[in-house]
Amino acid sequence: MEGEGECSDNPFTSVMTLAKMRVPHVPQRYVLPPSQRPTLTLDLTATLPIVDLSTLHHASQRSLTLDTIQGACKELGFFQVVNHGIPLPVIHDALAAATEFFNLSLEEKMTLLSDNVHNPVRYGTSLNHASDKVHYWRDFIKHYSHPISDWIHLWPSNPPSYKDKMGNYAKAVQVLHKQLMEAILETLGLNFGNLQKEIEEGNQLMAINCYPACPEPDLTLGMPPHSDYGTLTVLLQSGPGLQLQDNKKKWLSVPFVEGALLVQLGDQIEVMSNGQYKSVVHQVTLSAENKRLSIASLHSLPINKKIGPAPELVDEQHPVSYNEFSFRDFLDYISSNDIADKRFIDSIKKSV
């Protein structure tokens, strides 16, 4: 059993188990050094950009909307989107499927347990419970999702509605990702057609996260500061908890907006733009009262596709600033490195 893992050779204990046990304090392995602990009282006056995607389809408003997206990509690497075309029932069904999965018995979830980051479906806790120096207050299930016909048979069969509900959401987000990429490449002056095939055939990894209420949210995090490896991450959240770092390294709390989706630029966009746009550094804070769910749809170019700065964005004033990399390079990196210690993108930056 999971709780017995504390005393046996199997160190796995899910955070859901600790929450059900109503532990009064977080175990020592979750306690961060003081310098890494979250700031829970932040300046909430900062307004984060919200983009109405329906305006992209109106010629009179498209240019202004693209300007908003461009500014958000340069300043933060982040914006929220509304009127994105994914119906609220599809969003609510996906969150319901996530809730049902995490409420399954331990035995059911443990059949999917894996430390291997290359596995197409895996359940786990923290970042990688087997290798993390400090653990994070998160349980997750991750699975590849595009093309969905290649992967859905590997997804959990329990709860019975999981494949249908999560599958509908995954397919809808894949369509949205293509629309977002077309707009973002346009703001960089790049031709979407040159990358359309790779974008359409790229990877989609769904990371479904559960952050139970935490007895001491000032001592730990749900996720440490990091950036995502891919092109874009489209994030659905059930409540507040996400924080992002602005260009002055100041933490900002992302408000919860019903029905909105969060768009986070990943390392592949930063590299492709030769540093014009930045992948957003973000972390997850916790609540003493409320559980939070998030569904992150992480998109990247095909696993072996090498990506470097777009030639159109390189000149004498803007020399190549990054080495090429692929999604597989990232997976190999996190297999032997702790992203809480060093971001992957720092390993591919060219020295000046």
CB 245 within 8 A of CB 225: yes
Supply the pLDDT for residue 340.
Answer: 66
pTM for this model (two decimals): 0.91
Euclidean distance between CA atoms 216 and 25, whole angstroms? 6
How does strand 203-211 pair with strand 223-226? unpaired
2 domain residue, yes or no: no
In whole angstroms, how far apart are CA 191 and each of 3, 39, 130? 53, 41, 43
DSSP bridge pairs for 295: 208, 236
Closest CA to 263 of 35, 76, 57: 76
196 domain residue, yes or no: yes
Supply the pLDDT for residue 279.
Answer: 94
Closest CA to 184 of 283, 264, 243: 264
Number of Cβ atoms within 10 Å of the Cβ of 63:
9
Supply the pLDDT for residue 1.
Answer: 30
CB 237 within 8 A of CB 287: no
The answer for residues whose C-beta is within 8 angstroms of residue 274's C-beta and 6 or more apart is 309, 310, 313, 314, 318, 320, 321, 322
35 domain residue, yes or no: no
Supply the pLDDT for residue 291.
Answer: 96
Range of the domain at 194: 41-345
Per the structure, the count of domains in the chain is 1
Tens of each residue's pLDDT in the chain, 352 residues: 333 333 333 468 899 999 999 999 999 999 999 999 998 766 555 678 999 999 998 988 999 999 999 999 999 999 999 999 999 999 999 999 999 999 999 889 999 998 888 899 999 998 777 777 889 999 999 999 999 999 999 999 999 999 999 999 999 999 999 999 999 999 999 998 888 888 999 999 999 999 999 999 999 999 999 999 999 999 999 999 999 998 888 899 998 999 999 999 999 999 999 999 999 999 999 999 999 999 999 999 988 899 999 999 999 899 999 999 888 888 888 777 777 677 888 888 887 5
13 domain residue, yes or no: no
29 domain residue, yes or no: no
Euclidean distance between CA atoms 170 and 255, whole angstroms? 23
117 domain residue, yes or no: yes
Dihedrals phi, psi of 70, to nearest 5 degrees: -60, -45
Question: What CATH number did the domain enclosing 265 receive?
Answer: 2.60.120.330
6 domain residue, yes or no: no
23 domain residue, yes or no: no
Supply the pLDDT for residue 333.
Answer: 85
CB 231 within 8 A of CB 300: yes
Report DSSP letters for 67-135, one per residue.
HHHHHHHHHTSEEEEES-S--HHHHHHHHHHHHHHHTS-HHHHHTTB---TT-SEEEEETTTTTT-SS-
